[in-house]
Chain A
Amino acid sequence: MKKRSLFVLSILALGLFSASSLFADKVKLTVWAGDIPDDSPDHAYAKALVAGFQAKYPDIQLDYVGLGNDGFKDKLKVTMASGSGLPDVFQTWGGSVMGGYADAGMLLDLTKELKDVPGSAAAASAVTWKGKIYGVAPFFAVAGLFVNEGIFQANGLKVPATVEGFEKVCDTLKAKGIQPFACGAKDKWPALALYMYMTNRYGGDSSAKASARKLAYDSVAFVKAAQLYQKWVKAGYFGATPLGEGYGDAQQLMFTGKAAMMVTGSWMCANFASADMTDQKIGFYAFPALAKGGVGKATDLMGMTDIGYAASKTGADKKDAVVKFLKYAMSPEACAADPGRICSVPGVKAKNSITAQASAVFGGAKTVTFWWDQDLPPSVTSPLNDTIQTFFLPDTDVKKELSKFEALCVENMGGIKK
C-alpha cells in the first residue's frame, strides 16, 4: 500500500514538473476585448487573430478574454481605476478614453516600436495621444449614408446630392408609406452620427473648435443643425415612433426594406451586404454638403477606430510579446478574415461591394472628425447623447438644451478661450 502511494506521488510530481517545464519558457500575454472570438461574422477577425497568433507564436501563451462590449468597458474602467490586475493588451477605440488612461500613466508608450507599422494616418492618429503611440487600429469606421437602392430605383429617386435634397426625397418616400430614415434613437448614441454631419455641414470644424474651447456648443452651427434635426423629426422622417426604436430595431427596418436610409457607421457594411440578413440592395454614400450657406464638404467624414488594441503598463516587462501581438493585429493575414469592416492596413481588399463603397468614401476623405462621444472628456459624453436625444421630442427648445450642455462643458472642460 505504502509503495503504491509512493509510486502515485512520484508520478504526480513528475507530471507537475514536466507541465511546469513545458510552460516555463512561455510568455503569458493577457488580452481583454469586447469582441468574443466566436462564429459570428462580426467576430471573424477576433477569431482569426487569436488562432493565427497562437499558431505563429507558439512560444507566447495568449490568454484572450472576450467580455462583450459593455462588460469589457466596465471591467476595464474599474481595473484601470484600481491600478492592479490590468491586462497586457486591451481593445480600444482610442480617443479621450484611451487618452485618460494614458494621462493616468496606465499605458505603455510604444511610439518607437509602432511608428513604422503601415496603416492609414487617420487610424494611427486615433491611437496616438499627445504625440505618443499606444497601440494599433487595424480597422476604421466612418459614418455614412446607407441607402436602399432598390427602394430608390423603384420610386424613381436619386441619392440626394445636397442636404436640402433630402427633404424632397423624404416627402416622396413618406407619401409612399416608406419610413425615410431608420435611426435607433432609443439607444441615444445612434442619433449622434447624423447630428455630427449636420453640424459639420453648417459650421465646418466647429466641433474641433468647441472641444478646444474656442467655440460654444450652443453657437450657431450647433443650433442650426439641431433645429434641422428636430424639423426632420417633426416632419416624420424618422417614423412615427423614433424614440421607441433602438439600434436593433433600426437595423431591422433596413433589413426588411421598411426604411430607406440610415446614417450610421461602416461596421454595418457586412450585415447589409449579407444575403442571410437582408434581401435588399443597399449602398453606402458620403453624407452630402449643404447647397447654400454651408461650410463642411462631403469629403469631411465622421468616424473613428472600429477595432484597435493598446498596451497597458503591465506589458512593459514583456514588451516583445506585446509588440508582436500588436503587429500581428495589423497583419494582412489576420485582417483579411473580416467580412465587412474598412481595413486601415494596405493590401487588404474589401470583401463586399458595400465595404468597397465605404472604403472608397474613406479613401477620398479630406478630414475625419472622431466620434464626439469617444473623443470628448468622459464627463460630458453621456450628457451629449442625452442632449441629442431630446431633439426627438417635439417640444424641446434645442437652443436651451445645447446651452445646458455648454454649461456642463464649461464646468468640465473650461470656459471659452478668447
Chain B
Amino acid sequence: MARCLEKGAGHIILFRGGRYVSDSKGRKRIRDRRRGPFVFLCLLPAFLFLAIFLYYPIEETFRIAMTKSTGMGPETYVGFDNYVKLFSNEEFLTGLLHVFQWAFWSVIIQLPLAFLIAFALTYYRNKLTGPLRSIYYLSNVLPSAITAMIGRFIYAPKSGVISSLANTLGWKWLGAIDWLGDPNLAFWSVFALATWAYTGFPIIYLMARIEQIPNEIREAAELDGATGWHYASRIVIPDLKYPFQILAVLCTVGSLKLFDLPYILTTGGPGNATVTLGITLYRHGFINWNYGLAAAIGVVISLLSLGFTIAQFSLGREKGGESL
C-alpha cells in the first residue's frame, strides 16, 4: 500500500512494491503495481458506459454513413457516395448555409446582448437585480417545445400577439406580415425567438464571471475615473475573454446541431427557408428511411463541431488566451 506524506512543496512517498517512473516532462512518479487492478476496476464502469453509449454509436454512425440503409433489411456498402450526394443536395446545402448564418449571427448578436444585460445587472446592482436575473434565465429553463408554442402564439397571422396588437393600434401593415409563412422573413422570425430563448444562459454565465472581479479593482478604476463603459471596455471585457470564447464555441456547436425550435415552429419551411442540418438529418433518417444519408449528415455535423471547437480554442491560444 502506498502512502503519501506531504512535506513542503514536494512529496515524500513511502511505499511497498512500487517503483519510480518518469513522465513526459521527466518528473518522477511512483507506480504501484498492486494498485493497477484496483484502478482498472474503478475505471471499468465508466469505460464500458462510454464504449457502449458513445464510442460504439460513433463508430456505427461512421460505418452506416458508408452504406445505403433503410434501417431494415440488408445494408449495401456505397463508400463515400452518401457524402457526394449530400454536397449536391439542395436541402442539405441550404441547411448548411443556415446553420453557418445562425452561428454567425448568434455570436454577433446574442453574446454582445448577453454581455450588455449581464454588465448592466452587475454594475447597476439594486433590488431588481435578483428578479431580473430570474426573468432572463426563465426563457432558458423552458423546454424548446414550449418556447416554440409561445412563438407560434406570437407570430400567428390574424390571431397572433403581434397581429392582434398591430390591428388594435391600427397598424394594418404590421398585422398583415406573415412572420413564419414568408420565406424571406421566416428565418429571422425563428432567430429572434431563439435570441430570447438562448440568451438567458450567457447572461447568467457572464454575470457569474463579472461578479468574480474583485471589488478593489472596480474601486481603483473608479478612483482613476473609469466608470460605466470605460470600466466595461478596459477591465471587464478583457477579463471575459475566455468566457466569451467558451460561449462562442457553445453558440457555434449549438447552431450546428439546431433542430427543435425551427422544426416545431416551421418544420423547416416554407420550402427550405428555415431548414437546418438537424432537420435534414431527421427527415432523411426518420421520415425518408435513408439511414445512410442521415448518418452522413451526422458525421458532417460532428466533424464541423469538432473543427470549429478546435479552431476557436487554437485562435484563442495563439492570442495568448487560456488553453483547454
Contacts and interface: CB of A to CB of B under 8 A. Distances in A.
B159 A243 contact: no
Interface of A: 74, 77, 80-81, 83, 100-101, 103-104, 106, 185-188, 239-246, 249, 252, 258, 377-383, 386, 389-390, 392-393, 396, 404
Contacts of A83: 72
Contacts of A240: 157, 176, 178
Interface in B131-175: 152, 155-159
A245 B155 CA distance: 10
A243 B269 contact: yes
Contacts, number: 94
Contacts of A80: 71-72
A380 B272 CA distance: 16
B179 interface: yes
A100 B156 contact: no
Contacts of B288: 378-383
A186 B180 CA distance: 8
22 contacts: A74-B286, A80-B71, A80-B72, A100-B70, A103-B72, A104-B72, A186-B181, A186-B270, A187-B267, A240-B178, A241-B178, A244-B155, A244-B156, A244-B179, A244-B181, A244-B182, A379-B289, A381-B288, A382-B283, A386-B91, A390-B271, A396-B271
B265 to A, nearest CB: 9
Interface string B80-100: 000000000011000000000
A379 B293 CA distance: 11
B287 interface: yes
A404 B290 CA distance: 18
Main secondary structure of the interface of A (DSSP, over half): helix
B107 to A, nearest CB: 29
A249 B158 CA distance: 10
A239 B156 CA distance: 13
Main secondary structure of the interface of B (DSSP, over half): loop
Q: For B156, B180, B272, B289, which residue has the most chain A Cβ atoms within 10 angstroms?
A: B289
Contacts of A100: 70, 72, 289
A379 B290 contact: yes
Given A103-B73, A186-B266, A242 B181 contact: yes
Contact of B183 (A101, A383, A386, A393): A393
B259 interface: no
Contacts of A101: 72
A241 B160 CA distance: 12
Contacts of A249: 156-157, 159
A252 B159 contact: yes
Contacts of B180: 186, 243-244
B187 interface: no
A243 B289 contact: no
Given A77-B289, A241-B158, 10 more contacts: A80-B72, A185-B270, A241-B176, A242-B181, A243-B270, A244-B179, A379-B288, A381-B288, A392-B270, A393-B183
- Give me the 3 closest cross-chain CB pairs, A-B, nearest first: A244-B181, A243-B181, A81-B71
Given A245-B157, A379-B288, A393 B73 contact: no
A393 B272 CA distance: 12
B115 interface: no
Q: For A186, A188, A245, which residue has the most chain B Cβ atoms within 10 angstroms?
A: A186
Nearest to B288: A379
Contact of B73 (A104, A244, A252, A258): A104
Nearest to A401: B271
B313 interface: no
Contacts of B179: 244
Contacts of B119: none
Interface in B44-95: 70-73, 90-91
B181 A241 contact: yes
A377 B288 CA distance: 8
B270 A106 contact: no
Contacts of A378: 70, 287-289
B34 to A, nearest CB: 41
B102 interface: no
Contact of A241 (B157, B271, B289, B290): B157
B271 A393 contact: yes
Contacts of B158: 241, 258
A100 B290 CA distance: 13
Contacts of A382: 283, 287-288
B269 A188 contact: yes
Nearest to B156: A249
Contacts of A396: 271
A393 B72 contact: no
Contacts of B198: none
B291 interface: yes
A371 B299 CA distance: 34
Nearest to B85: A411
A241 B158 CA distance: 9
A382 B159 CA distance: 29
Contacts of A186: 180-181, 266-267, 269-270
Q: For A80, A188, A382, which residue has the most chain B Cβ atoms within 10 angstroms?
A: A382
Contacts of B73: 103-104
